[in-house]
Homo-oligomer: A and B are copies of this chain.
Amino acid sequence: MFSKSCEYSIRAVLYIYKNTQDGNKISIEKVAGAIGTPRHFTGKLLQVLAKQKIISSVKGPNGGFYIAPNAPEIRLSRVVEAIDGPEIFKACALGLKECSEDHPCPLHQQYKGIREQIKNMMEDQTVQQLGKKLGEEKVFVKNENYPE
């Protein structure tokens, strides 16, 4: 579905949200440890998310990444587009260069609705909504029996 980069990014952003609403900042080290993703690769992803202003970062001691409590809602689609690119939401199911009504692949009619749902899901859900669940409901952003 999405690339690993993208999956990792979403998980990281949710975790960062949940753990920085009290004004704290959190380091790459801790994020990667908490969600179970490779340290350096995670760092790189957070770097591009910060550059795109999806998350905030501050260098130096006591620095780290965070999402300001008063930050506007961040749609998941924004993360996906930053990492995998926006074309992913209009790609053809069978890999044709373009998906179009004029030159459809045999799966086009059935697939386009599903793809739309995926897009809607990512546009509807925000980091803030899902991030809150992370604390309240039983949802997880790291694998089962993974050491905290």
Interfacial residues, chain A to chain B (CB-CB below 8 A): 1-2, 4, 7-8, 10-11, 14, 76, 91, 93-98, 100, 102-108, 110-111, 114, 117-118, 121, 125, 130, 133-134, 138-144
Complex: chain B residue closest to A146, CB-CB: B97
CA distance A105 to B98 in the complex (A): 32
Q: Quickly give the copy total for this chain.
A: 2
Beyond A2-B95, A94-B141, A106-B134, 7 extra complex contacts between A and B, CB < 8 Å:
A1-B93, A4-B95, A7-B94, A96-B140, A105-B140, A110-B125, A111-B121
CA distance A70 to B80 in the complex (A): 45
B104 close to A114 (CB less than 8 A): no
A14 close to B106 (CB less than 8 A): yes
Residues of B within 8 A of A106 (CB): 14, 125, 130, 133-134, 139, 141
